Amino acid sequence: MNQEFNITVLPGDGIGPEVIREAVKILKIVESKKNLKLNLTEAPVGGAGYEAAGHPLPEDTLKAAQSADAVLLGAVGGPQWEKIDFSLRPERALLGLRSNLGLFANLRPAKIFAPLADASTLKPEVVEGLDIMVVRELTGGIYFGEPRGVETLPDGTRKGVNTLVYTEPEIERIAKVAFDVAGKRDKNVCSVDKANVLECTGLWREVVTQTHEEYKDITLSHMYVDNCAMQLVRNPKQFDVIVTTNMFGDILSDQASMLTGSIGMLPSASLGGKTAMYEPIHGSAPDIAGKDIANPLATILSVGMMFKYSFNLEYVTTVLEKVVDDILGQGYRTKDILSDGGKEVGCAAMGDRVAEELEKQLG
């Protein structure tokens, strides 16, 4: 019997729809070559959700996500929604999806494709062979802590508050994910915190250390986040798995992405619930939306992660990553990764190149 999977596709805003279109081409190729049945359902999210249903995460969209085997998301946000109430901003949809689906573990691999070593702003010898996995906690920390908000004080001035909160079970479960991931890699975990200043991340350090006792074959080190930011540009190859809080992970994963040449290259998988979600780590890039110049590879590689983590078809992931490497090796480049001698292609043409090559290579 053919394997059948239901995928909810949420293109979102800005370049979201463009990069998703290319990722869907890839899904179709895999479907036909591997005799799968992939049922794709599209739904509006973010600014598109607000326009369609008055809410960035319309109820029907959330239901479609909850009932799917996997969710593929493009990007959300744009300047036209910056003025609306905070609770209705496109970004809230992302946070709502993550918390409603219970996606506490966000895997963000920063792996350099060999042909792109010269596309990084760092020297090729610093980034060549780089392969880091950032494990970002995704449903806790300062992103979700209460109290939060902006209030007006009696003297008429305003006060803004956000709260950094982690419970022991929240820390323990993300630490376990990091140790498990490291067990299949170089067996090295660096836990990043600010334990010298923030009590909450002092607890983080303690719980990660305790959890480590069950993982004798993994080496654990701890690093303050400011030092980690520096080490990532000084000597990034010292890292294997980095595990950290929601906000530190947000920042460090953007930084790690630039080591690979472009933020347009980094996929992600958000795991922990029944349904996982896959999205590029880049945003909606409204300035380049609709111009067919966005890099679809982060979204295409996110589809790759879907086959590994949701459908247990890691073979597809491996072939797709090799295909991307080959296409880059042939010199094809979107604008963000273009360097001397590269053959510039648009978003759709890059998707076509990958699709054609995948069709050939997927046995």
Catalytic residues: 143, 194, 226, 250, 254
Told to check if 265 binds ligand IPM by CB under 6 A, we report no
Q: Which does 326 bind (CB under 5 to 8 A by kind): Mg ion, ligand IPM, none?
A: none
CB 300, CB 280: distance < 8 Å: no
Told to check if 283 binds ligand IPM by CB under 6 A, we report yes
Q: Supply the DSSP string of 2-53, one letter for each residue.
A: --EEEEEEEEESTTHHHHHHHHHHHHHHHHHHTT-EEEEEE---THHHHHHH
CA 257, 148, 57, 96 torsion-angle sign: positive
- To ligand IPM, the closest distance from the beta carbon of 250 in angstroms equals 4
Q: Measured from the CB atom, is 137 or 250 closer to Mg ion?
A: 250
Q: Measured from the CB atom, is 228 or 319 closer to ligand IPM?
A: 228
Told to check if 250 binds ligand IPM by CB under 6 A, we report yes
- To ligand IPM, the closest distance from the beta carbon of 308 in angstroms equals 20
State which of positions 77-106 bind ligand IPM (CB under 6 A).
91, 94
CB 262, CB 297: distance < 8 Å: no
Told to check if 170 binds ligand IPM by CB under 6 A, we report no
Residue ranges of alpha helices (H) inside 54-192 are 59-66, 90-100, 124-127, 168-183
Maximum Cα–Cα distance for the chain, whole Å? Answer: 70
Place of tokens 């979107």: 334
- To ligand IPM, the closest distance from the beta carbon of 201 in angstroms equals 18
- To Mg ion, the closest distance from the beta carbon of 143 in angstroms equals 11
Strand, helix or coil at 134?
strand
Q: Which stretch binds Mg ion (CB under 5 A): 42-50, 166-174, 211-219, 242-250?
A: 242-250
State which of positions 250-269 bind Mg ion (CB under 5 A).
250
Residues that bind ligand IPM (CB under 6 A): 91, 94, 250, 281, 283
